[in-house]
Amino acid sequence: MKADFPKITFALLAFTVGVAGSLLIDSHLNQLIRELYKWTTGSGFVFYGKQTVAKTPMTYYLAFGLITMVLWSCFKTSKPSQYFEKACIFTSLFTISVLAFVFIDGRARLMSCESCTDGFISIYWNSINYSLITIVSLSIALLPLVKTLLRKKQAKIDAAFEADQVSLD
């Protein structure tokens, strides 16, 4: 039990850092997503209304915490020389998935818009589901790292199983 205490402590610390980080970058990430909607549609989106702070669902903050815990676990099992590579993979996949999501959703909204004037769509600031875009993109970016982590864990289990088989013979 004492051996698990540092692991649990660091996992909770990573979760807390993830939640705190999400609180800090929430509005900046939302603004970036709005700008990407404008950029990927050739300024086809016009946002209107009072720019208020939207109520972000609790799942958004919990997802950031869980993803930070998984990232910490992935980095913990890696060599320090692999940190930069894994961080680049995660960041690149996150960026690509946000761009793809915004591009596809923006184009679909423009094509289905019946009240558009000259190819422009006016939408309210909070009519975009920012948390969905962020959580899906973070999850997609995390997939290769989780796959590698699970592969390492399976290799350890297989090695332990083979050692037990050899000792039984």
Q: Confirm whether 163 is domain-assigned.
A: no
Q: Confirm whether 131 is domain-assigned.
A: yes
Number of domains observed in the structure of the chain: 1
Helix, strand and coil in the chain, % to nearest 5:
75, 5, 15
Question: pLDDT tens per residue, the chain (169 residues)?
Answer: 566 778 788 888 999 999 999 989 988 998 899 999 989 888 888 888 776 666 788 888 999 999 998 888 888 888 888 888 888 999 999 999 999 999 999 888 888 877 776 777 888 888 888 889 999 999 999 999 889 888 888 887 877 777 766 555 5
pLDDT of residue 108: 87
pLDDT of residue 168: 53
Global pTM value: 0.82
Structure tokens at 139: 């999850």
pLDDT of residue 159: 78
Q: Confirm whether 151 is domain-assigned.
A: no
Long-range contacts at 68-72 (CB < 8 A, ≥ 24 apart): 68/14, 68/15, 68/17, 68/18, 68/21, 69/11, 69/14, 69/15, 69/18, 70/142, 70/145, 70/146, 70/149, 71/14, 71/142, 71/145, 72/10, 72/11, 72/14
Q: Confirm whether 153 is domain-assigned.
A: no
Identify the domain containing residue 73 by its residue range.
5-143
Yes or no: say if 36 and 114 are a contact pair by the CB < 8 Å rule.
no
Q: Confirm whether 154 is domain-assigned.
A: no
Q: Confirm whether 88 is domain-assigned.
A: yes
pLDDT of residue 99: 96
On the CB side of 158, CA atoms within 13 Å amount to: 6
β-strands 121-124, 45-48 pairing: parallel
Q: Confirm whether 124 is domain-assigned.
A: yes
- Closest Cα partner for 40 from 101, 97, 103? 103
Q: Confirm whether 152 is domain-assigned.
A: no
pLDDT of residue 124: 82
pLDDT of residue 118: 73
Give the integer Cα–Cα distance in Å for 140 and 134. 10
